Amino acid sequence: MQFTDELRNLTDALFKRIKRHPFVQGIANESLEPNQLIHYVQQDYQYLTTYVQVYGLAMAKCTNRDQMRDLHARMRIVLEEEIHPHINFCRVAQVDYRDLQTGVALAPTAHHYAKHMLSVAQSGSLGEILATLLPCHWIYIDIADDMMSRVQPNETHAFYDWIRFYSSEEMHTGLATFRDWIDAYTLNSGERERDLMREHFLTSCQLELRFFDMAYTLEDWAVRGLLV
């Protein structure tokens, strides 16, 4: 069994919980409220900014140019293409995407997730960073594939673009090559590093579930408006 198969088995209960989460179900059955979509996009825009910064910190730990080229292509996808699912949410919520990109404080869960990724990126190995970033790819593809087969949406579905984007060929290839990289990497890492990789992967999976909860419940700090 490859290392990433082991990670997937370890977190199977979380993957199942995420697919049943009301925010995810709300995408499938088109029942999300505008406020929930807006909160998600406001937080996810900042999350993706951190994600690109973490790729940058991983870049500094690459040992050859092929790895750098791979990360460079991944950064481009987040910066230039991952706006499409956000635009889909904004269209349904009837808001301008630009209005959601500034002036919003990170909600507690998005704050936690960003600090988790940055902390691993700053003090962990390349393998630890890759393991921290992997759930983000894997979970969205898993969700979107599940919706594609269960809902079989067409263009009239409110979240057709979102579902199609995350279940696309490009996303699948991106996940497969990311897994291959991690599997090859762990052939040369020790048990201590692999333990840390498991731990970071698990934490990111937990935070993926909480991120949907944050959007669904409009999670915010107890006293609002102090942080921006």
Applying CB under 6 A, among 208, 209, 215, 216 the residue interacting with ligand VIB is: 208
Say which residue the tokens 């999300």 belong to.
32
Q: Is 70 in the site for ligand VIB (CB under 6 A)?
A: no
Choices 55-63, 92-100, 114-122, 134-142 (CB under 6 A): range interacting with ligand VIB: 134-142
Given 57, 59, 62, 78, the residue binding ligand VIB (CB under 6 A) = 78
Instruction: Find the binder of ligand VIB among 3, 15, 45, 51 (CB under 6 A).
Output: 51
161 binds ligand VIB (CB under 6 A): no
| 108: contact with ligand VIB by CB under 6 A | no
128 contributes a contact to ligand VIB by CB under 6 A: no
CA separation for the pair 220, 182 (Å, rounded)? 35
**Of positions 82, 128, 142, 161, contacts ligand VIB by CB under 6 A:** 82
Side-chain-side CA neighbours of residue 55 (13 Å):
22
What is residue 167's DSSP assignment? T
Task: Rank residues 77 and 227 by Cβ distance to ligand VIB and give the closer one.
Answer: 77
Q: Which of 6, 145, 174, 210 binds ligand VIB (CB under 6 A)?
A: 174
The count of chain residues that interact with ligand VIB, using the rule CB under 6 A, is 13
For binding to ligand VIB (CB under 6 A), which residues are involved? 44, 47-48, 51, 77-78, 82, 136-137, 140, 174, 208, 211
